[in-house]
A and B are shown apart, each in its own frame.
Chain A
Amino acid sequence: MNILETKGLSVEFSGFKALTDLDFSLEEGELRVILGPNGAGKTTLMDLITGKTAPTAGTIHFKNMNITGMDTFRISRLGIGRKFQGPHLFDNMTVEENLEVAFQGYHSLRKSLFFRKTKELKERMEEILTMIQLQDKTSHYAINLSHGEKQWLEMGMLLAQDPELIILDEPTTGMTAEETHKTGQLIENLFKGRSIIVIEHDMAFVRQVARKVTVLHQGKLLAEGMLEEIENDKRVQEVYLKEDSHA
């Protein structure tokens, strides 16, 4: 059963076709990697799914619910979490605070005003902190964390948010080889059972996590299939050769 489905999805920015007539679907519990050179429309697709930008044509269904053009915060409440490319934290707030605001179910003003940390919440918080190995940095300001720590804190926030669909936009940019590897593992254990979309360049990382892969090119679906097939796919190769040649 598909948790996410887009039909004929297209978007234009002042004449520029960022995405054209894209049919994309993701199964529940699946981890999908999306590949593609710069400007292929990867991030645009994510923006559309999370409601950051509204499509010019086509529909998006999440859990068989039409979320096309919905407000970001509504979509998020339905259970889609997103991690942006590069750290995207609340810099001048502590690790704990960053996690706290991420917890779901307290969105209304009233709830946020008269909010008490329940025992469960506290425990969950501890749990997450240990998972992302920041348990002894709870009162540090996010801005003072190392790059890797920042990335993991974001993972932690995703856990706190507890979404059914997680979107990771280049989660390993700027990471060392083993940080990258660690992140790979983190993703695999932390988000077991959730549906995940990962945008990634780093092939090593892709090989580590990927099963099914979708390749976008110039806003169109180029290829889709298991990693091996994709790697041997002619069209994909030439796109990537081009990419490398001018990279």
Chain B
Amino acid sequence: MNVMQQIVDGVSVSSSLLLVALGLAITFGIMKIINLAHGELIMVGAYTTYAVNTVAKLPFFVAVIAAFVVTAIVGALMERFVLRSLYGRPMETLLATFGISIMLQQIVRILFGATNKAVISPISGTLTLGNIVIPYLRLFIIVFSILMLLLTAYILFRTKFGMLVRTVSQNRSMSDCLGINTSRIDLLTFSFGAGITGVAGAIVATLRNVSPTMGIEYMIDSFLAVVLGGVGSLVGTAIGSVIIGEASQLLTFVGGEIGARIIIFVLVIIVIRFRPEGIIKLESR
């Protein structure tokens, strides 16, 4: 069995997982919003890509941008009309977002019909190194996800906006006193997180078909990755994704595809139990 290949594939799996989880690292990790509609944001991104790329025949990168814009708008609407009034009430947030997820699924079903849709992979061909084969598509996804990670990190830690975001998440009332328009920051932060998630949707759409219910699995995996890595830390999310991604590949030796997933779930549950703060702990008092 070609272990090297498995590890490489693991990297690509991790990278798409990282991509999907990145948005959640912001909405859940930083804003502490339990967004059960995270998967549906991915789905919206995927459908936007389908509409722009497959139907309207525009180039793929345009579709990616469109996916960002559309989901960012959806996110903004969610924040403005629902989440805003629920801050500090995680359980209510969780319920509301579940309601939203049902609605989004149905809306998409009405707009695009029930049948599954396809987004054509923008890149074909494979790279062969010795006995390892990597599709250029997956190579692209790896690079892209790393870029997205860096971009997000840059925005959060090197820009005024990012600084504001972190200030607000640290101490809301204080920020209010400092004259920061917190509600505006919340709006922007959430729709930014949503937008990234939409981009992730555009990317994963190239690996699979596009369907109204495609989001659920991604939603769960993203939460696992974020929590495993350490809530509120981008590095943590990256690490979480890599662990889960690699595990899901390498553990197939042990229990096959299904066994691998079961083992991962058990592992993550145990980690949450003993380190709720995740593998990467933010030092704070």
The chain A residues found within 8 Å of chain B, CB to CB, are: 13-14, 16
Q: Give B283's nearest chain A residue, CB to CB.
A: A14
0/1 interface trace, chain B 245-285, chain A, CB 8 Å (1 if under)? 00000000000000000000000000000000000000101
Q: Kindly provide the distance from the CB of B282 to the nearest chain A CB, expressed in whole angstroms.
A: 11
Q: What is the predominant secondary structure among interface residues of chain B facing chain A?
A: loop
Which residues of chain B are within 8 angstroms of A14 by Cβ–Cβ distance? 283, 285
Q: Give A13's nearest chain B residue, CB to CB.
A: B285
Q: Which 4 A-B pairs have the closest CB atoms?
A: A13-B285, A14-B283, A14-B285, A16-B285
Alpha-carbon gap, A14 to B282, bound state (A): 11
What range describes how many residues of B lie at the interface?
under 10
The chain B residues found within 8 Å of chain A, CB to CB, are: 283, 285
Which residues of chain A are within 8 angstroms of B283 by Cβ–Cβ distance? 14
Q: Kindly provide the distance from the CB of B23 to the nearest chain A CB, expressed in whole angstroms.
A: 30
Alpha-carbon gap, A31 to B283, bound state (A): 38
Which residues of chain A are within 8 angstroms of B285 by Cβ–Cβ distance? 13-14, 16
Alpha-carbon gap, A7 to B283, bound state (A): 29
Which residues of chain B are within 8 angstroms of A13 by Cβ–Cβ distance? 285
Alpha-carbon gap, A138 to B47, bound state (A): 58
4 contacts between A and B (CB under 8 A): A13-B285, A14-B283, A14-B285, A16-B285
Q: Kindly provide the distance from the CB of A68 to the nearest chain B CB, expressed in whole angstroms.
A: 22
Q: Kindly provide the distance from the CB of A241 to the nearest chain B CB, expressed in whole angstroms.
A: 26
Q: Give A18's nearest chain B residue, CB to CB.
A: B285
Alpha-carbon gap, A77 to B139, bound state (A): 62
Q: Kindly provide the distance from the CB of B239 to the nearest chain A CB, expressed in whole angstroms.
A: 21
Alpha-carbon gap, A11 to B285, bound state (A): 13
Alpha-carbon gap, A13 to B285, bound state (A): 7
Alpha-carbon gap, A14 to B277, bound state (A): 15
Q: Kindly provide the distance from the CB of A226 to the nearest chain B CB, expressed in whole angstroms.
A: 35
Which residues of chain B are within 8 angstroms of A16 by Cβ–Cβ distance? 285
Alpha-carbon gap, A13 to B284, bound state (A): 9
Q: Kindly provide the distance from the CB of B98 to the nearest chain A CB, expressed in whole angstroms.
A: 24
Q: Give B281's nearest chain A residue, CB to CB.
A: A14
Q: Give A14's nearest chain B residue, CB to CB.
A: B283
